[in-house]
């Protein structure tokens, strides 16, 4: 049996934090605000990419962060060492060699 | 009084540092707070065009200039001394004499560098920074700190040598002039200026010469790291803005720094190393601005450096306070600290948001650089800077505070930071918000007139958009950003491995040469010389005397007896004076013949 819209909303509310819900709300408000800015030509555009217009910076924020999360995750697996490089032991006969 | 009005603030701090060891601990703490305040007052009353110069033993055609005041140097001087005041207030609990002396010399060196009017003064103050800052790292007095300090001084000595070589070549190119003004990319693009640039880029932390920064700053003491984080990279930025505006390669170098810094900051789990990588990222923005080189970019870089010192020092103070109380800096061992340190949590949020959020100083300053890149139609640089703004906000403004203060509570219960630390953090937090809400005093300090309006609805909306959507991405994927134990391999891997290979190669090759040389010189040559010195004279004498004896009519046996006797006698050196004189005369005669023949 499908849940009613009220129940679905309740489920979403319980599964997301207050901060996340606020962020989603703010995102909607900002995207709507941008429509007004584009209509009023208040936004100055220099490059063809922002000419994409509505939602460019929203996409930059979300997908840019996403890309960096996955990139650094992959690189982190490659570059992380258990032992600090500085902890490499010196040769045992170092004193003799110097002498 | 007028004589003192244009006294170099660097000299004030350096001379002032000499008194520190003689003061009692309580007075020492007050004195080191008062000294940067005096320097700040001195800088505030300096006027554009003032200078303090002298002739250096008549060696140079221009005078050596320890003080050159213009808007650029004044802006850097003000933030340097203001930050020093806050840092010493924060370090009130710290009574170590060597630390305070080194810190004052270091900050004095930074002030000397930004007020230096010529290449020689620049070099002197630059190197004084390198040496004194090493003691700040050593002040933590751990094995790790000693290693980091050693690597730090090595790389900075290399940078200093590059700078010195460049300065010498440039002075030769400038017909003996030591003047330090902007180098023109078209006409002054020679080995000297490139070497100077390389020396500066070492201090900027440009990859691959960057590993010293995340290696050394987090290894320093709580206050040492705080002080180090503000000066070395910012004096390098100042020098780029002064000497290399409009040098195109800096745009690419700056972009590389920004990307490198942000990727490592996201991967890193040690809170102080995250901030160290964030420094490289933010300095990358300033290096791009120097490369763009127009008025808006120079203003943007100066404002960004000013504000970066404020909010990055605030974050170093926050992490330092946690380290001071808990003794740990890895985020994988920390969490839920807001329960114990609520005020520090608030300061951390202010410092973190100050990287970009409206109402804070990062919003009114750093965005100026991005706007300059956009206006100059540097598409790639603009896109990279936008992306790196997103990344650094994610790494240092969301991830670090979340896992330090709001993440899983690990049950660590400590006292709130000491009162003087709270006071210093309050001051910087206040300034972060002040210059965010009312940026005009900051804009008045900048080198050129400012035509930038951060609070235009369009600008405000787009910045808020990417901030909020970055926040959403973090909220959804934060589990993937959870801190992990372990240490990241950085560019230092190459010189650690490289130095090891170099050592082994040198060990094998040089020791082989050493053994061969020993065999030849000691086994053959030295033995021959020794034999000659022992019996060579006797053999020569026998050689000369044998024909004489034969002419006397002696038979072979008698000649051989005489030879044996003579050999023994000459080996003992028991010759009558007459015989010695005879040989001396022969030797003299031979030398005379050689001399006459050669002539």
Tens digits of residue pLDDT in A28-43: 998 888 888 776 665 5
Q: Indicate the SS3 state at residue B180.
A: coil
Residues of chain B with C-beta less than 8 angstroms from the C-beta of A26: 464, 468
Q: Is the ipTM of this complex over 0.90?
A: no
For residues B236 and B303, state if they share a domain: no
Under the banding of pLDDT at 50, 70 and 90, the label for residue A90 is: very low
Taking the C-alpha atoms of residue B144 and residue B220, their distance in angstroms, rounded to an integer, is: 9
Per-residue confidence (pLDDT) for residue B187, from 0 to 100: 83
Q: What is the pLDDT of residue A45?
A: 54
Strand A80-81 vs strand B487-488: parallel, antiparallel, or unpaired? antiparallel
Residues B254, B282, single domain; the answer is yes
Identify the domain boundary among B458, B486, B514.
Answer: B486
Asked if the C-beta of B26 comes within 8 angstroms of chain A's C-beta atoms, the answer is: no
pLDDT at A88 over 50: no
CB pairs under 8 A between A and B: 143
Q: Is residue B94 part of a domain?
A: yes
8 Å CB contact between B448 and B298: yes
Residue B388 tokens read as: 């790196």
| Domain presence at residue B508 | yes
Q: What is the pLDDT of residue B246?
A: 92
Q: Which among B209, B244, B279 is the end of a domain?
A: B244
Instruction: Give the residue carrying structure tokens 């700053």.
Output: B217
Whether B298 has a pLDDT exceeding 90, the answer reads yes
| Residue B491 is assigned to a structural domain of this protein | no
Can you give the residue range of the structural domain that contains B255? 245-486
CA angle, B308 then B310 then B315, to 5°? 90
Do B128 and B170 lie in one domain? The reply is: yes
The reply to whether A17 touches chain B by the CB within 8 Å rule is yes
pLDDT in tens, B346-399: 999 999 999 999 999 999 998 899 989 988 888 889 999 999 999 999 999 999
* Residue B77 within any structural domain of the chain: yes
Task: Identify whether residues B289 and B222 lie together within a single domain.
Answer: no
Please indicate, yes or no, whether residues B237 and B255 belong to a single structural domain of this protein.
no
Q: Which residues pair with B51 in a beta bridge?
A: B68
B512 and A CB contact within 8 Å: no
Least Cα separation, residue A34 to chain B (angstroms): 7
**Number of structural domains, chain B?**
3
**Are the C-beta atoms of residues B6 and B51 closer than 8 Å to each other?**
yes
Rounded percentage of chain B residues whose pLDDT exceeds 70: 96
Q: Are residues B212 and B283 in the same domain?
A: no
Same domain? For B57 and B107 the reply is yes
Q: CA A39, CA B138: separation in Å to the nearest integer?
A: 60
Q: Do A60 and B390 touch (CB under 8 A)?
A: yes
Of B260, B314, B315, B265, nearest to B285 by C-alpha is B260
A41 touches chain B (CB under 8 A): no
**A51-60: average pLDDT:** 79
Chain A: give the shortest CA distance to residue B390, in Å. Answer: 6
DSSP H or E run through B291:
helix B271-292
CA B210, B81, B127, B141 dihedral sign is negative
Phi, psi angles (nearest 5°) of residue B523: -75, -40
Domain identity same for B470 and B514: no
Q: Judged by CB atoms within 8 Å, which residues 256-315 of B form the interface with A?
A: 262-263, 266-267
B311 in Cβ contact with B392 (< 8 Å): no
- Whether the CB of A83 is below 8 Å from some CB of chain B: the reply is yes
Among the residue ranges A1-15, A82-96, B241-255, B403-417, the one predicted with the least confidence is A82-96
One domain for residues B273 and B383: yes
Nearest to A45 by CA among A31, A56, A33, A29: A56
Q: Can you give the pLDDT at residue A99?
A: 37
Whether A74 and chain B come into contact, CB under 8 Å, resolves to no
**Of the residues B486, B511, B530, which one is the last residue of a structural domain?**
B486
Residues B404 and B341 in one domain: yes
Suggest the residue from B143, B258, B267 to mutate for an interface test with chain A (most A CBs closer than 10 A).
Answer: B267
**B463 is a domain residue:** yes
Shortest Cα distance from A60 to chain B (angstroms)? 6
Q: Give a yes or no: residue B9 inside a domain.
A: yes
B84 and B38 in one domain? Answer: yes
* Overall average pLDDT of the B473-486 stretch: 89
Comparing alpha-carbon positions, the chain A residue that sits nearest to B460 is: A30
Same domain, B221 and B340: no
Taking an 8 Å cut-off on Cβ atoms, the answer to whether B263 and A68 are in contact is yes
Q: Does A92 touch chain B (CB under 8 A)?
A: no
Determine the Cα–Cα distance for residues B274 and B337; give it in Å rounded to an integer.
18
Residue bearing tokens 């808007």: B71
């Amino acid at each position: 049996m499908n849940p009613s819209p009220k129940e679905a909303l309740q489920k979403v509310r319980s599964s997301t934090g207050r901060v996340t819900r606020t962020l989603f709300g703010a995102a909607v408000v900002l995207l709507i605000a941008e429509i007004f800015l584009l209509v009023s030509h208040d936004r100055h555009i220099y490059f063809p990419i922002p000419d994409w217009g509505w939602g460019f910076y929203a996409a930059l924020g979300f997908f840019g962060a996403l890309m960096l999360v996955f990139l650094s995750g992959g690189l982190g697996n490659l570059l992380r060492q258990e032992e600090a490089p500085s902890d490499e032991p010196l040769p045992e006969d170092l004193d003799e060699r110097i002498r | 009084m007028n004589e003192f009005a244009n006294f170099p603030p660097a000299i004030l701090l350096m001379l002032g540092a000499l008194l520190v060891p003689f003061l009692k601990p309580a007075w020492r703490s007050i004195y080191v707070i008062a000294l940067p305040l005096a320097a700040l007052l001195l800088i505030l009353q300096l006027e554009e065009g003032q200078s303090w110069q002298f002739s250096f033993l008549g060696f140079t055609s221009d005078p050596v200039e320890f003080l050159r005041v213009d808007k650029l140097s004044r802006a850097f001087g003000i933030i340097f001394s203001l930050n020093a005041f806050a840092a010493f207030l924060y370090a009130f609990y710290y009574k170590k004499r060597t630390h305070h002396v080194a810190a004052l010399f270091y900050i004095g060196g930074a002030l000397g560098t930004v007020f230096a009017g010529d290449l020689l003064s620049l070099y002197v103050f630059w190197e004084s920074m390198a040496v004194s800052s090493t003691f700040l790292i050593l002040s933590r007095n751990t094995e790790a700190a000693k290693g980091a300090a050693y690597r730090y001084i090595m790389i900075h000595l290399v940078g200093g040598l590059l700078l010195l070589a460049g300065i010498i070549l440039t002075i030769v190119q400038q017909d003996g002039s030591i003047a330090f003004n902007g180098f023109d990319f078209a006409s002054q693009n020679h080995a000297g200026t490139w070497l100077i640039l390389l020396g500066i880029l070492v201090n900027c932390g440009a990859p691959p010469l960057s590993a010293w920064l995340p290696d050394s700053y987090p290894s320093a003491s709580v206050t040492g790291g705080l002080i180090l984080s503000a000066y070395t990279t910012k004096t390098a930025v100042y020098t780029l803005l002064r000497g290399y505006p409009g040098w195109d390669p800096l745009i690419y170098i700056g972009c590389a720094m920004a990307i490198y810094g942000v990727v490592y900051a996201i991967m890193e789990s040690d809170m102080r190393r995250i901030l160290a990588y964030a420094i490289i990222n933010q300095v990358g923005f300033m290096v791009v601005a120097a490369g763009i080189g127009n008025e808006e970019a120079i203003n943007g870089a100066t404002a960004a450096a000013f504000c970066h010192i404020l909010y990055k020092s605030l974050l170093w103070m926050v992490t330092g306070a946690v380290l001071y109380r808990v003794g740990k800096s890895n985020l994988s061992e920390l969490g839920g600290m807001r329960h114990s340190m609520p005020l520090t949590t608030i300061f951390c949020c202010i410092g973190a948001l100050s990287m970009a959020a409206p109402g804070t100083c990062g919003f009114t300053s750093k965005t100026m650089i991005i706007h300059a890149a956009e206006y100059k139609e540097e598409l790639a640089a603009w896109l990279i800077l936008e992306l790196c703004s997103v990344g650094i906000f994610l790494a240092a403004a969301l991830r670090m505070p979340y896992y330090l203060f709001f993440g899983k509570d690990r049950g660590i219960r400590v006292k709130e930071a000491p009162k003087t630390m709270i006071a210093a953090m309050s001051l910087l937090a206040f300034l972060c918000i002040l210059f965010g809400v009312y940026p005009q005093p900051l804009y008045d300090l900048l080198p050129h007139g400012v035509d930038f309006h951060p609070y235009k609805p369009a600008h405000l909306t787009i910045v808020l958009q990417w901030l909020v959507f970055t926040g959403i991405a973090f909220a959804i994927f934060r589990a993937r950003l959870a801190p992990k134990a372990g240490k990241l391999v950085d560019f230092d891997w190459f010189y650690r491995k490289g130095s090891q290979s170099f050592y082994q190669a040198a060990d094998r090759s040089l020791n082989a040469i050493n053994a061969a040389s020993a065999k030849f010189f000691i086994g053959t040559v030295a033995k021959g010389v020794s034999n000659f010195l022992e019996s060579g004279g006797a053999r020569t004498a026998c050689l000369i005397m044998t024909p004489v004896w034969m002419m006397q009519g002696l038979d072979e046996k008698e000649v051989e007896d005489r030879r044996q006797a003579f050999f023994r006698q000459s080996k003992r050196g028991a010759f009558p004076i007459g015989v010695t004189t005879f040989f001396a005369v022969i030797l003299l005669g031979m030398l005379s013949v050689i001399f006459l023949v050669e002539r």
